[in-house]
């Protein structure tokens, strides 16, 4: 075990006490986690060092990634979350809706290129068929039985259950039966009802989010967990959010990872129209580093995998985050729409060979995993053979969000128009 004692001698006593506690594998409270946000100078670097040490203890030097494709099959949504630049009202010209055949075609194309997972999330179209999600899953699994469907956030599960007039549990069982393997733990933002009522009135409540996640875990559907930060929340609201995730994990053990998601502001309605006083342009670089480190420290022993988002942070910041507590690179994505529509400029696809290069540049070992974090291939040396996705020269063939909202054949047909 590394000896941090000499480094702590000149540190702020409050910060060094908390970090010592973390190094002794004791639980760090939301108050203590929030205190770490106040660190500066050498103390700031110590937070990163401790997070990096805990990462090393839990998962070693491997950095994992998954070969996957996002399929956001519609951007039409009945909600108007203040941070969401992806969605369109059903009356708007730019609303699209992919038919099931196109969703399956995209999944097959990705699978043929080595993808093990499709991530399916979308807006909530009005008057949606109650069994639409099940139909999509069945169509995919009929063609590609072994692809992992990581699909439908708690918000979508809530919508599907309401449209079906059934309980969360019954609806989740139906999704499982139709082929859903895991659920994205998105729609969490910050699990604080007052804050949610400001940034996304009408969004799934804290109580329903927790209920759906626990129910999914109970019936054997693992989920991820997320936190959107850098908008209006306080450090304490963040650490209380992380502590809520930790409590759920103690009870169910069903979370596979935790993903801090930095708010992308430029096209987000609540920032563009300055809907709230004091709204920020996302987190600062220092804040992003601290958030990943504090997540690692607070979730130590409960959630081993802290993922950073290359789409939001870019390649170089991602490298830093891997040295500040993160150990997972996320997915190749192929089609990224959510952050791109909000103004992120880091692209929509990272090939496996690029991920491997980024990971090796910081002296770590890349490894491909499946959605449940089983290592599929470890790449210990740099003499890799290109994988199928690496061989695609013209990635524009996959299309983009900006193109998709202009394609006539995918235009959302508004059922409310006579
Ligand atoms: S975040 Fe989801 S629910 Fe909210 S407006 Fe966007 S697509 Fe709709």
Ligand 1 mean position, distance from CA 77 (Å) = 6
Among residues of the chain, what percentage have pLDDT more than 70? 99
Query: Nearest CA to 179 among 144, 215, 217, 218?
Result: 144
Give the span between the Cα atoms of 49 and 286, in whole angstroms. 14
Ligand 1 mean position, distance from CA 83 (Å) = 9
124 in contact with ligand 1, CB cutoff 6 A:
yes
Six-digit token string for 253: 């053990």
In this prediction, residue 1 carries a pLDDT of 59
Taking CA atoms only, the protein residue closest to ligand 1 atom 3 is: 79
Domain boundaries, given as residue ranges, for the chain: 49-410
In this prediction, residue 418 carries a pLDDT of 47
State yes or no: pLDDT of 214 exceeds 90: yes
State yes or no: pLDDT of 3 exceeds 90: no
Measured at the alpha carbon of residue 312, what is the angle toward residues 85 and 189, in degrees to the nearest 5? 60
More confident residue, 386 or 214: 214
In this prediction, residue 399 carries a pLDDT of 84
Element containing residue 155 per DSSP (H, E):
helix 154-163
State yes or no: pLDDT of 402 exceeds 90: no
Ligand 1 mean position, distance from CA 345 (Å) = 20
More confident residue, 274 or 297: 297
In this prediction, residue 415 carries a pLDDT of 67
Ligand 1 mean position, distance from CA 138 (Å) = 24
79 in contact with ligand 1, CB cutoff 6 A:
yes
294 in contact with ligand 1, CB cutoff 6 A:
no
Regarding pTM above 0.85, the answer is yes
- If you average pLDDT over every residue of the chain, what do you get? 95
Contact 8, 17 (CB under 8 A): no
Contact 353, 387 (CB under 8 A): yes
- Write the CA distances from 358 to 120, 334, 380, integer angstroms: 27, 17, 14
Can you tell me the mean pLDDT for 61-86?
96
155 in contact with ligand 1, CB cutoff 6 A:
yes
Can you tell me the mean pLDDT for 265-288?
92
Q: Among the listed ranges 125-134, 203-212, 352-361, 406-415, which one has the minimum average pLDDT value?
A: 406-415
State yes or no: pLDDT of 77 exceeds 70: yes
Matching CATH number, 49-410, of 3.20.20.70, 3.40.50.720, 3.40.50.620, 3.40.50.9100:
3.20.20.70
In this prediction, residue 353 carries a pLDDT of 95
47 in contact with ligand 1, CB cutoff 6 A:
no
State yes or no: pLDDT of 184 exceeds 80: yes
């Amino acid at each position: 075990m590394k000896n941090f004692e000499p480094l702590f001698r000149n540190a702020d006593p409050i910060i060094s006490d908390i970090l010592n506690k973390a190094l002794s594998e004791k639980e760090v409270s939301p108050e203590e986690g929030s205190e770490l946000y106040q660190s500066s100078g050498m103390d700031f670097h110590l937070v990163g060092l401790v997070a990096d040490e805990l990462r090393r203890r839990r998962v070693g030097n491997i950095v994992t990634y998954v070969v996957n494709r996002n399929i956001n099959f519609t951007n039409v949504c009945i909600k108007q979350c203040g941070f969401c630049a992806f969605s369109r009202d059903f009356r708007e010209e730019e609303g699209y809706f992919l038919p099931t055949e196109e969703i399956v075609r995209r999944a097959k194309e990705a699978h043929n290129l080595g993808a093990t997972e499709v991530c399916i999330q979308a807006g909530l179209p009005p008057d949606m068929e109650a069994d639409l999600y099940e139909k999509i899953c069945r169509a995919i699994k009929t063609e590609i039985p072994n692809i992992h469907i990581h699909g439908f956030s708690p918000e979508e599960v809530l919508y599907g259950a309401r449209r079906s007039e059934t309980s969360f549990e019954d609806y989740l069982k139906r999704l499982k039966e139709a082929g859903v393997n895991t659920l994205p733990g998105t729609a969490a933002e910050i699990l604080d009802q007052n804050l949610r009522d400001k940034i996304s009135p009408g969004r799934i409540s804290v109580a329903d989010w927790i209920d759906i996640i626990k129910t999914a875990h109970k019936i054997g559907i693992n989920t991820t967990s997320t936190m959107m930060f850098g908008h209006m929340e306080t450090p304490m609201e963040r650490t209380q959010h992380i502590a809520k995730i930790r409590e759920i994990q103690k009870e169910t053990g069903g979370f596979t990872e935790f993903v801090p998601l930095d708010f992308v502001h430029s096209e987000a309605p609540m920032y563009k129209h300055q809907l709230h006083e004091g709204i920020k342009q996302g987190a600062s670089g220092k804040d992003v580093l601290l958030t990943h480190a504090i997540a690692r420290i607070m979730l130590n022993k409960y959630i081993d995998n802290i993922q950073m988002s290359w789409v939001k942070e870019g390649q170089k910041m991602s490298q830093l985050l891997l040295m500040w507590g993160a150990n997972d690179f996320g997915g190749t994505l192929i089609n990224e729409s959510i952050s791109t529509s909000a103004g992120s400029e880091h692209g929509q696809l990272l090939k496996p060979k690029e991920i491997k290069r980024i990971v090796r540049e910081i002296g770590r070992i890349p490894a491909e995993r499946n959605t449940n974090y089983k290592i599929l291939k470890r790449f210990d040396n740099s003499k890799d053979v290109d994988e199928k996705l690496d061989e695609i020269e013209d990635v524009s063939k996959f299309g983009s969000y900006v193109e998709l909202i202009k394609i006539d054949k995918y235009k959302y047909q508004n059922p409310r128009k006579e």
